[in-house]
Amino acid sequence: MNICVAGLGIIGGSICMALKRAGLHVWGWNRSPKPLDYALLNGLIDGAAKDFGEFDVIFVALPPQACVDFINSHHFRDGAVVADICGVKEWMEKKIYSKKRNFRYVGCHPMAGKEVSTIYNACADLFDNASMIITSDGRTDGDALETVRNLTRMMGFAAIVECSAAVHDRKIAYTSQLAHVVSNAYVKGAQLDGCIGFTGGSFQDMTRIAGVDERVWTALYLKNAANLTAEIDSLIGSLAEIRDALAAGDGLALQRILRAGRELFEARRAERASSEDISVKKLK
């Protein structure tokens, strides 16, 4: 199987390393030369891709618009599997299926990463305790889907989560995008200055993802704006309840609000994924 990874950042580079660790041959492509040179020099890839018609599987590890531009501007082998790893999926599906394609598309989203970026921080074990989300619908080729499942296993992922693009975008607005928005807003507080010595695990958890690339995340937010806006509105409503109880000095109300949150979290944490819209397969 000939595999190419287009886009050699931390995720693309780690995909290369994980597949190489599994004993596969991988070629790479990047928009700028330095990451490609680094990947070649350090053995992350077996060679630089030139003709994409040579590959059976192409993972496109680029931001959404760059991903679509790459796919639209290159020729692929008839029946090749083209899998993107973008953080929004409905938008990607609309772009991919807007015209007839000679390849088979599968949407992917690896739930792994670091606070840092670039290929220089890539590692072969980045995905070892992570889940891969794979999206599909009636247009998705079954054999292509199984190919991506098998490669996901070989990369070391601990679980595969399968759902529609719509479910993915709703869930990711809450679990990822809202968390980044909250972290960014939190570090704008006036008490950030001079807080050395006052911080512990809570502060670290809240601020860990505040420094992400605003260009990348702005594009993701805008392409999932309706879902993210709904989650922000919900959070504002919950914060307003706490604020109002504090302003009224109402300890009983505050306890009720906090207890409701704790009990809901504990109940949800104990639940297994049971939605008919989501399939979870543990690996290993």
Q: For the chain, which domains are there?
A: 3-164 (3.40.50.720), 169-270 (1.10.3660.10)
Virtual torsion, Cα 167, 218, 107, 32, nearest 10 deg: -170
Contact indicator for 22, 43 with CB cutoff of 8 Å = no
Read off the pTM: 0.93
Token pair in block for residue 99: 């015209």
- Report the 10 Å Cβ neighbour count for 127: 23
| Mean per-residue pLDDT, 213-232 | 95
What is the band of 284 on the pLDDT scale with cuts at 50, 70, 90? low
In the prediction, which pLDDT does 53 show?
A: 95
Q: Which amino acid is at 50?
A: K
pLDDT in tens, 161-171: 999 999 999 99
Q: Exposure string (b/e) for 180-206, b if CB count within 10 Å is 16 or more?
A: bbbbbeeeeeeeeeeeeeeeeeeeeee
List pLDDT tens digits, range 174-208: 999 999 999 999 999 999 998 889 999 999 999 99
Average pLDDT, rounded, for the chain = 94
Kindly state the percentage of the chain with pLDDT values over 90.
86
